[in-house]
Structure 1
Amino acid sequence: MLPHFFDLPWWGYVLYGLVLTQITIACVTIYLHRAIAHESVSLHPIVSHFMRFWLWLTTGMNTKEWVATHRKHHAYADRERDPHSPLNEGIWRMLFLGAVVYSKAANDQETLNKYGKGCPDDWIERRFYTPLKNLGIIIMLGINVALFGPLIGAAMWVVQMAWIPFWAAGVINGAAHYIGYINYKVKDNSRNLVPWGLFIGGEELHNNHHRYLSSARFAARRWEIDIGWIYIRVLSWLRLAKVRMVAPKYGAAES
């Protein structure tokens, strides 16, 4: 067997995988979604760049591609030109092939030009992150193999690579427009999957987000929990983030 650094009990590998994937989820919801796509929070450059680097390392996702596709989704939510709606693509295709549906829109130059404004366009983005967007996940594979050996390291890497395509592209873009409960009547079919957004960064509260796109907080009712908002409040306390907009209390603007 090839040499590696760690031999962990089964729960150690599970914990390692959960910690890394939850950091990735946090970077998606805070950096890509709330900070860049909707500009509801501004991040300190150190935090912003760490999250951009982490997403490059663990997902290979490009900021402009993600943001442009997401903004187009809001522009045509659950209508014909929505790039990823289960009403157009079917719920099972969105759940298990959501990343394929997303990639089609992300590779459309017209979408990028129209909806990708305001995304990072610095030297490192143009010369490194964009042209070498697949290098990060290769490095991540090498790190996992070095830590845990080829078999377990590769298995951990597969979990990491499947995490965002399933939970974000599949569950949020698919199930959150198909099942769940509604707080607000909106023009699309968005739903809150569960009231406790702890596992997918608060993105579970999808109907709330579709009602107030520019809100940094997705939770609306007192018993709803948005862990992404908790992260943002901690960053704000550390002076590493500044909240720009928060939705009014539930019922205040609806009455």
Structure 2
Amino acid sequence: MIIVIFFIGHWFLSLFFQTFFQHRYASHRMFTTSKGWERVFYLMAYFFEGASFLHPRAYALMHREHHAYSDTEKDPHSPHFFTDVFQMLKATLKTFKDHRMKAIDPEARFKGYFPEWPVIDRMGSSLLSRLLFGVAYTLFYFVFATHWWMFLLLPVHYLMGPIQGAIVNWCGHKYGYTNFNNQDKSKNTSPFDFLMLGELFQNNHHRFPNSANFGKKWFEIDPVYPVMKLMHYLHIIRLRKAYLN
């Protein structure tokens, strides 16, 4: 039972900070916040993403490219140009690494307005940090696992961020329904997206890329948006007024 709680906790905390910090803040600037709170979110993203910490600058650049070139040959991770999800993931990780290492020069329109903390960026992206988190996860399982099958969950802990991203990028552009004609293949995979915290409302998001609420129909609930509204009213963040709805 402890392992199941740990796995679920890690899944949703890692995913929350990926969608809240790297996606909605670093990539889209859906809200503003103080430098102090930005550092708190940075540290929490590093801790909860752990072995698969996602470099915010690289994430933002690649995600902005994805929106600009959605489902075209220039899209860094459209599922319609790969034979399977593993090939897409491999290509995505290469592009992500190139941005992180500054091996490619992005277009000027994609640059700037993303958080940077060089110490955490270097530490979180280092092999040593990833290995230490991996060792911590493994030791936790050795202490608390009660059945052999529980160890099958360990690889997901090691690669949680990329796995979550692959699910969103593959399913969100292949399966589901559409509310809007976005001139791409984005889909809302499910009208009840709790598993991916609203990230699978891709059709809605591509229509309103800067809207903090990914749900647009009355039955589409984005679980992260109420949290952001609460943080807004507590003056931890300030949602952009145009999208406070």
TM-score, with structure 2 as normaliser: 0.83
Residues of 1 paired with 2:22 and 2:163: CA distance? 17
Q: CA RMSD in A?
A: 2.6
Residue in 2 aligned with 1:199?
195
Q: Deviations over 1:21-41 (max 9, x none)?
A: 100000110000001100112
Maintained 8 Å contact 2:178/2:203: yes
| Residues 1:83 and 2:73 aligned together | no
With 50-59 and 214-223 compared, the bigger mean Cα shift is at 50-59
Q: Deviations over 1:52-84 (max 9, x none)?
A: 322562413211221111111111111111111
Q: CA deviation at 1:156?
A: 4.6
| Residues 1:190 and 2:180 aligned together | no
Change (3 A) 1:146 1:52: same
Residue in 2 aligned with 1:124?
119
Residue in 2 aligned with 1:17?
7
| Residues 1:142 and 2:139 aligned together | no
Residue in 1 aligned with 2:61?
68
Residue in 2 aligned with 1:163?
160
2:46 corresponds to which of 48, 53, 57:
53
With 203-212 and 171-180 compared, the bigger mean Cα shift is at 171-180
Maintained 8 Å contact 2:77/2:91: yes
Maintained 8 Å contact 1:69/1:111: no
Maintained 8 Å contact 2:79/2:174: yes
| Residues 1:219 and 2:215 aligned together | yes
TM-score, with structure 1 as normaliser: 0.80
Residues of 1 paired with 2:115 and 2:18: CA distance? 15
**What SS does structure 2 have at the residue aligned with 1:196?**
coil
How many pairs are equivalent?
A: 233
Residues of 1 paired with 2:191 and 2:11: CA distance? 21
Q: Deviations over 1:132-159 (max 9, x none)?
A: 2x33322222322343327959655422
Residues of 1 paired with 2:12 and 2:160: CA distance? 10
Gaps in structure 1 of 5+ consecutive residues? 1-10, 250-255
Q: Deviations over 1:86-106 (max 9, x none)?
A: 12224xx2x334331211212
Change (3 A) 1:50 1:60: closer
**What SS does structure 2 have at the residue aligned with 1:226?**
coil
